[in-house]
Structure formats: C-alpha cells, structure tokens
Amino acid sequence: MLRLAKISDAPEILQTRICAIRVQASLHYPREEIEDWCTSRTAETYHTAIEQKAIVVEEINGNIVAFGQLNPKTAFVEAVYVSPSQFRQGIGLKILRALEAMASACGIKALTLEASLNAVQFYRRAGYVPIFEEEHSSAPKTASATLRMRHEIPAPATGS
C-alpha cells in the first residue's frame, strides 16, 4: 500500500535506507563511503522531511519496504530506496511515479535527481537522462561519484 509517510515511520524509513545502501551500493562504492552514507542520517532527520517535503512509503504486511522523497520547492527527487527483499519487483518505479505525480500536481514540469552509480540504470529505464557527473559528500571525509539526471514530466492526460 502506497501512502504518505508519518513521523512514526521515521525509524523504519531509516532502516530501509541503510539496508538498501549496504546491499546495492556495495558493488560500486568502497566500504568507508557506504558506512559514511549509511550514518549520514538519523530517524530524526526524517521528521523535518516528513513535515516539510513529500515522502511516500510502500507498506507490505504492515512493514515499510520502500520510500521516496521529493522536495517540491527545488523539483528534486531526494531519495528512492527499496528494501533488498523487494528489489526488482516494480516498487521503486511505483514510488518514483508517485513522486512525479505529486510534482505534476504542484505544477512542476521537470525533476532532477542525483543518482548513485548503482541506481543509474533504474533511472534511465524510468526516462531520466544524464546531465553531468558530480561528487556527493555524505560525510566530511568522503565523497562519492554520482550522476545528475533530469526527467521531463509528461502533462497530465485530459479527459474528454
């Protein structure tokens, strides 16, 4: 079930993020970068995001298995994470499309995001195109290679 996140979801959102990073990113980034990435957020970090941004979660049997975060003010997809047990089941795309629909409802015509190397193909398949490579710093001592990507949001279909 896809729904908006609540403050009480923050610990589960954080755990979903950590598990996804540790499994998916391990083929693309060194251990030190992964650990810095995993520890760069706390459950409390998500409280403000839940209150001020758009966060959706996918829940299965009462457990959060994925989430996505959109900053409507900057038209930036800040996160899409899927629990390893649910990889390649279409849940990440479902989350991404929900964020795009929310952006469209706010009048946003295009979204950008910063894709980790392990997620580039996912975003390409979803219609995002690379703009430029960059480094993302999740902690003072490390910086990870990422790819800035952009996607034009199709205009909503009009009923006849």
What does each C-alpha distance from 129 to 43, 67, 115 come to in angstroms?
31, 22, 11
Evaluate if residue 157 carries a pLDDT over 80.
Answer: no
Evaluate if residue 160 carries a pLDDT over 70.
Answer: no
Using alpha carbons, select from 101, 5, 93 the residue that is nearest to residue 49.
Answer: 5
Question: What is the total residue count of the chain?
Answer: 160
Q: What is the pLDDT of residues 15-47, one digit of tens each?
A: 999 999 999 988 889 998 899 999 999 999 999
More confident of the two residues 49 and 139? 49
Q: How confident is the model at residue 156 (pLDDT cuts 50, 70, 90)?
A: low
Q: What is the pLDDT of residues 82-120, one digit of tens each?
A: 999 999 999 999 999 999 999 999 999 999 999 999 999
| 39 Cβ contact list (under 8 Å, min separation 6) | 139
77 half-sphere exposure, CB direction, 13 A CA radius: 35
